[in-house]
Every structure is written in structure tokens, then in C-alpha cells.
Amino acid sequence: MNRIDELFSDLRGRDAKALMPFVTAGDGGLDTTARVIPALERGGASVCEIGIPFSDPIADGPVIQASMTRALDAGTRLSGIFETIAALRPNTRLGLVAMVSYSIVYRNGLDAFVRDAGQAGFDGLIFPDLPIDEAQPARDAAGEAGLTLSMLVSPSTPADRARRIAQACTGFVYVVSRGGITGEGSTLPAGLPERLQTLRDATDTPLAVGFGVSSPEHVRSVVSVADAAIVGSAMVRRLHDAAEQGGDPADEAERFTRALASGLIGSVGVG
């Protein structure tokens, strides 16, 4: 069984939920990424979404856009990311999921990208800009490589299409909590529970909610109705701020993850 599937199966068996932080590969250098990922596990994360830097990010707000620019300026390349993950994989039980624009996948070749990602130690993929109508080849390639493939369902996605996307996902469904770009928020949308129930009626695949989740209170609210909470911009900003202030991003990753994990309502991660 894929590690992501095992993780969610175990959590469900314990009536527990998952925390899924996002980091940009190569922000601060790949050596920093290599230290941050184990720190997330120590803090209580179950899955880490690893953003593959791209010069034209999809739906990313200013914080994550800036992190991708820094990573690219530092010379981060796909081959280096794969090498970093391969070195980390034997020493972490975290689920590792690559969030990557399909433009990068297409340029490298679908089969080659999926093969290399799997061999490096990734457990799953998120293609945020891949339409469901064109997703079958990617689903087939990921399945053959033993990787999960998650796609995004946004608030503006029509109900029938949202059900199709949810049914096509493996591992988990990425549910976008609100419209617009990524970024920290102060409140979560009032209609989120109803949207999640519609998706639950369509699939048993776990539902992970992202966009605007930035505090233990947000995590608590999300996992009261979903299987996982995704924290992106808030994590990326804190890691960068720590580095700018002369601190250690890995220390901040563990500290902030531990704080966020306090919102899991008695749930625990894999660490």
C-alpha cells in the first residue's frame, strides 16, 4: 500500500487527523530543505507538501511566489530536489508529496517525471493546473508507479465536476477552502462543511483543506470536518523570517508545526 494510503488508514483507525505543511524546495537552499523536512515530522506533521519552484506559480500568493523566486535564484533544479528527497527518504516516515505545475511535468515527459519522482522517494503528486478532462494519462502513470495523484477542488468548481475530481483523486482530495490565491487568512468560509459533505457523498478518499489555514484555531476548525489541514503561506513566511533574523528555519519549522498540531483535537501524526 502507498505510504499516503497507509497513513490515512492508520489515522482513521485511531479517529485522528493529519497536519500537512507546505514548503518550497530550495527556499534558503536545498540543505535548508533537507533540515526542515525532518523538523516538520518532529513537530507532528504527517505529510509534507513540497513545492517544486516554478517561475509562474499557479494560484500562489505573494509569500509562496517570493519563495519560489528565491529558490530559483539560488539555483534549485529538479534533479537537485530529487537527490535531496532520495537522501532524506530512508530517515523519515513522513508522506512526501510533490506539488508541481504540469508545465514542468510536460517539459520533462510525464512517464519520466513520475518515474524519477517515485524513485527519489515521493509518495504522491499534486498537479494544481491539470484539468480533470485531461488527467487520465497522469492518473495511469502515477498508479503504475505506485504514487497517489491529488487534484484541486475549488469553491467555484461546479458540483458535478467537483464530484468527478474527487472520484479521480487518489491519496487525498485537495479542497481549496476559498477563492483567490494562497495566503494567510483570519477566518475560514462558513460554507466549507457543506462543500465537504458533498464530496464525502462522492468518495471515501480523505479530504485535505488548504488556502488560508494559518493557526492552531484554523487547524482545529478544519479537522473538525475534514481529514487533514494544509498550511502553506504561514509556514513559508515563518521559515523565511527566521532565516532573515539570523535564526534556524528548521527550529522554527518544528516550533510552528508543534503549535499547529495542538489544533488536531487530540489527534496525532506519524511522528
The residues that are catalytic are 49, 60
Alpha helices by DSSP H, the chain: 3-13, 30-43, 62-73, 78-88, 102-108, 110-120, 136-145, 159-168, 192-200, 216-223, 233-244, 249-261
CA distance 190 to 78: 39
Separation CA 19–CA 197 (nearest Å): 20
- Run of H or E including 231: strand 228-231
